[in-house]
Structure 1
Amino acid sequence: MSAYIDGYELSVERAKELCKSNDSEEILDGISIWECSYKDLTELASTLLMFLETNSEIYIQESASQCLVKLITNEFVTDEIIIKKALHILGSVEDSEINSDIKYSHKLLLDFINRK
């Protein structure tokens, strides 16, 4: 069963479709809807890692990094391979004002892991 707001389907299936789009706004909507669904979150984490590796849009990278860190620090995603890959990818982002949110996400993830 899917929920609708203003005729817009809010399901994990729709979110996955949006994440496959070439349109940045649709991808951002897909990430947001998928995160709120609380379904298939390990798959979402893998999709977010793919965005961080392949998508050059800064807004998508920022959204992906923030969502990924939330999933890991709230322990919705506990797969060690995903966590290590997230640390590697977020840690390899070059320092710049543009990437400051992504670097901050890396710091949050490191802090979380060091507390465990």
Structure 2
Amino acid sequence: MVLNMLVILMVREAGLRSMLAARLALSGIDVVSMEQVDASRITRLGGTAPVLVADGPATQAHPGGLAALAADPLWHRLIIMDGAGEVTAPHLHHVNVTTEEPATAIAALLRGGGAAQ
């Protein structure tokens, strides 16, 4: 796991957002929820390797969409849940939230950097 990792949750569905925040925090990951990316706030929060965990609707609402998020040098890693897969980048991972335990798959990506199971 990268030291000083800060996970930003940008998830529109409240139940999923709450579950992910709780499960990731219980596994020792620093988590902050945001409705929109706020780079100055992320900088103030600290962490040298910000990771964005977002769902499809949140990425579509972001100015420029997923392509803009993937091109932003702010992110150490992007984990997109059920988002459109037309954008690719080495630090971009897609996770299927219909899996039985999306928090486990996301935590595995955060710790190991490999593909979600």
With normalisation by structure 1, the TM-score equals 0.31
More strand, by proportion: 2
With normalisation by structure 2, the TM-score equals 0.31
Higher relative contact order (CA 8 A, sep 6+): 2
Which structure has the larger Rg?
Answer: 1
More helix, by proportion: 1
